[in-house]
Amino acid sequence: MGKKGTETRDRLLDATQELIETGGYFGAGLNQVVAASGAPRGSLYFHFPGGKDQLVGESVRRAGRAITDTLAGAEPGPSAAEFVAGVLRLLGDRLAESGWRRGCPVATVALETAATSDLLHDACSEVYSSWEAALRARLEGRPDADDLAVTVLALIEGALLLARTHRSREPLERVTRQIHALLS
């Protein structure tokens, strides 16, 4: 694919990610994606012949990779508790800067569609598994690393949901304290 095609595809994915994070799967209609991306309608079908589910699935995977890269690429220096506190701070900043509209790039799609679309179920499951693996790697050497990785991920996801709902960092701060106690 040429540079122009790659740029168009990226614009479609960027627009989709923004729309699903703020309005969920059902708030990301194809007309909205085309309008937000500025891409021609034909490009949408060219790059995503599988339709909306393919577009949303690839967007979820792409957003998930960005967070996985952040989790996996962090410096080994800080403790696991300090690392997770830093992640929660970054996610809280992102959420607050968006006016409490942009939470997790996966959660809304998972809640809305995982039971009805195998393609989207698989995309969401893959992303969550990659985040668990990155957290597990940070907890390496602990006998309970598998359980802790899932627990920490669930606490992060829950804190993001509550912070977005309450439009407050308080749930993130409370969860940060509990994760610190759990991991120390």
What's the token pair of residue 74?
Answer: 């962090």
Question: In whole angstroms, how far apart are CA 148 and each of 104, 107, 133, 134, 182?
Answer: 20, 20, 11, 12, 9
In the chain, the domains with their CATH numbers are 3-183 (1.10.357.10)
**pLDDT of the residue at 77:** 64
Share of the chain above pLDDT 90, in %: 72
**pLDDT of the residue at 76:** 62
pLDDT in tens, 43-80: 999 999 999 999 999 999 999 998 888 777 666 667 88
pTM for this model (two decimals):
0.90
What's the token pair of residue 42?
Answer: 């034909």
pLDDT in tens, 156-166: 999 999 999 99
Q: Which residues contact 26 (CB under 8 A, 6 or more apart)?
A: 112
**What mean pLDDT is reported for the chain?**
91
> Measured on CA atoms in the order 97, 98, 99, 102, is the torsion positive or negative?
negative
Q: What whole-number distance in Å separates Cα of residue 53 and Cα of residue 135?
A: 28
Q: Which residues contact 136 (CB under 8 A, 6 or more apart)?
A: 145, 146, 148, 149
